[in-house]
Amino acid sequence: MQLNTIKPAAGAKHAKRRVGRGMGSGLGKTAGRGHNGQHSRAGGYHKVGFEGGQMPLQRRLPKRGFKSKTLKYNGEITLADLQRLGLDEVDLLTLKAAGLVGELIKHVKVIKSGELSRKVALKGLGATAGAKAAIEAAGGSLA
């Protein structure tokens, strides 16, 4: 293959549409812009969602719901997670290092789901009443 023999694939190149060049071209007179109105004129512009002055759809519909920031920064782990972790002392940094909670999490609560049969000391973590009772029953503590 030589540089002077390279050609684009068949049908890949086509002539540019030349508008306003006479009636024989099929795009003469109004050049494909219709007759009157904003779109037929140079400089015609409207923002996305503009409906000709009618109240736009996004303003006609009611506002609903919100995204809770607490879901973004609060996490939870289970007693079964603590059992699987296999550490004697657990805090937020160890949970992040183990991949049990995300990097953005600032508060973690232990919930009662699963079994805990080993002694675990929690530092800086919250716990539900049932989880607290299960941790203390296994000989662990919350600080």
pLDDT digit string (tens) for 41-100?
A: 998 888 899 998 999 999 999 999 888 777 788 999 999 999 999 899 999 999 999 999
Phi, psi of 76 (to 5 degrees): -140, 150
Give the C-alpha separation, 81 to 84, whole Å. 5
Whether residue 105 is predicted with pLDDT greater than 80 in this model: the reply is: yes
Q: What is the pTM of this model?
A: 0.52
What pLDDT is stored for residue 119 in this prediction?
Answer: 93
Whether residue 90 lies inside any domain: the answer is yes
Whether residue 48 lies inside any domain: the answer is no
Domain that holds residue 117: 69-142
Whether residue 106 lies inside any domain: the answer is yes
Within its chain, how far is the Cα of 126 from the centroid? 28
Query: Which CATH number does the domain housing residue 134 bear?
Result: 3.100.10.10
What pLDDT is stored for residue 70 in this prediction?
Answer: 75
pLDDT band for position 134 (cuts 50, 70, 90): very high
Give the C-alpha separation, 71 to 91, whole Å. 20
Count of structural domains, the chain? 1
pLDDT digit string (tens) for 9-27?
A: 999 999 999 999 999 999 9
